[in-house]
Amino acid sequence: MSMSTPTKEQIQATAGGLLANLLGVEAKDIDPHASLFGGGFNSILAVQLAAQLTETLGFDVRPDVVLRSDSLDGLSAALAAQA
């Protein structure tokens, strides 16, 4: 889904789908405002998510950005500002 200038909403939908896949849950079950680390997410998955986001979004997503984000909504906002 390579996007030239993705919106926060597009990033959130993409990241939510990738996160759901990594966690083995449905994307609709992920609360965008809940802590990323409350549902089994960890640093290893953060590195994997960053790599998948880099490939999907078409710009470099560093694992530390994922690790510093408190929620899917926060991550999406940080990445939209970076895009």
pLDDT per residue over 18-37, tens digit each? 999 999 999 999 999 999 99
**2 pLDDT band (50/70/90 cuts)?**
very low
Task: Report the pLDDT value the prediction gives residue 38, as an integer from 0 to 100.
Answer: 85
Cα end-to-end distance, the chain, whole Å: 14
Domain ranges of the chain: 8-82
Residues 6+ apart with CB under 8 A from 22: 41, 45, 48, 49, 52
> Whose CA is closest to 65, among 76, 55, 17?
76
Per-residue model confidence (pLDDT) at position 78: 97
**Residue 37 in 3-state DSSP?**
helix
Task: Enter the pTM of the model.
Answer: 0.90
Class of domain 8-82: mainly alpha
- Span 15-20, average pLDDT: 98
Average pLDDT over residues 46-51: 98
